[in-house]
Amino acid sequence: MPSTYKKDKPWDTDDIDKWKEEAFTPDQNLGGTFSEESSFATLFPKYRELYLKQSWPMITRALEKHGIACTLDLVEGSMTVKTTRKTFDPAAILKARDLIKLLARSVPAPQAVKILEDGMACDVIKVRGLVTNKERFVKRRQRILGPNGSTLKALELLTQTYILVQGNTVSAMGGYKSLKEVRRVVEDCMANIHPIYHIKELMIKRELAKDPELKNENWDRFLPHFKKRNLTKRRKPFRVTEKKAAYTPFPPPQEKSKVDLQIESGEYFLGKQAKERATKERREEAMRDKMEERKRKREEAFEAPKEEAEVKKKRKKRKVEAAEEA
């Protein structure tokens, strides 16, 4: 709001960010030390023990700047943070709680320490409970990573966050608004909506935010609306039962035997030589038919194709004949 007192203010220049939040200093803590001690603890998996042991001095130094004490218990497999007499920021213990939570979820220590900065938040999304089938869960979790991690890198660049997919959780670090976008993308991916749709939407939003004319307008007309194209698959039963014929009290007619068929054809009453002669004739006739079929197929390759001129002449002749008849 502009001041009504019209006087030159040489200290108020355009390059000053009036919305910037200054860092909390010990001088601003007018209440003094805390009356009670606050502490948080979390367990970590066995495979993280060696890494945490090596990087614990760096974590201790980072927490000492905010007056937070930390303990690494390798017997129980737990990390503990608590306030001390030197703690001046009430929110520091909550930041330290998020720090040990990220360390337990395999976030590298140099990256996890950034959570102590102002304006930085974290979100650990539990994705295993969103999909019941394990094979389906593994496939959808792989979609967040993409081929060679390209999808994950695109999400990190568009949302300005750090994302780590580890086991049954997805850990994200960044601004509050960005974390909301990441959670929406991850939950939709587990609900079988590919992250590439959200990436396209985020890219369009980033370009629209650069335009000063469209900055404060509704962007729904610019955003893509994807329709579901899943075809309805008819459920196929495991056992297909044939329809039963109408019930009749009479049994089906008995099939004729080989002897009955020979009696009908008269072959049964022939002598041995006559039977052999008839069998030989049938065999020779079948061989003759096969030879003629093969000969016809061989001769097809030598037949000349019909020329277009002859076909046109025939068509013209037919038209003339049709005209004469009419």
pTM greater than the 0.75 cutoff? no
At 232, the pLDDT band (50, 70, 90 cuts) reads low
Token reading at 250? 């009479």
Domain annotation for the chain: domains and CATH numbers: 26-118 (3.30.1370.10), 120-226 (3.30.1370.10), 260-291 (no CATH)
According to the model, what pLDDT value does residue 17 have?
77
Mean pLDDT of the 263-275 span: 83
Mean pLDDT of the 2-30 span: 75
pLDDT in tens, 143-189: 999 899 899 999 999 999 999 999 899 999 999 999 999 999 999 99
According to the model, what pLDDT value does residue 229 have?
65
93-107, 148-162, 220-234, 259-273, range with the lowest pLDDT: 220-234
Mean pLDDT across the chain, nearest whole number? Answer: 85
Long-range contacts of 160-164 (CB under 8 A, 24+ apart): 162/107, 162/111, 164/105, 164/106, 164/107
Task: Compute the distance between CA of residue 126 and CA of residue 190 in angstroms, rounded to an integer.
Answer: 11
According to the model, what pLDDT value does residue 241 have?
74
Task: Compute the distance between CA of residue 266 and CA of residue 269 in angstroms, rounded to an integer.
Answer: 6
C-alpha distances in angstroms, 46 versus 55, 74, 77, 103, 106? 15, 9, 7, 13, 11
pLDDT in tens, 155-166: 999 999 999 999
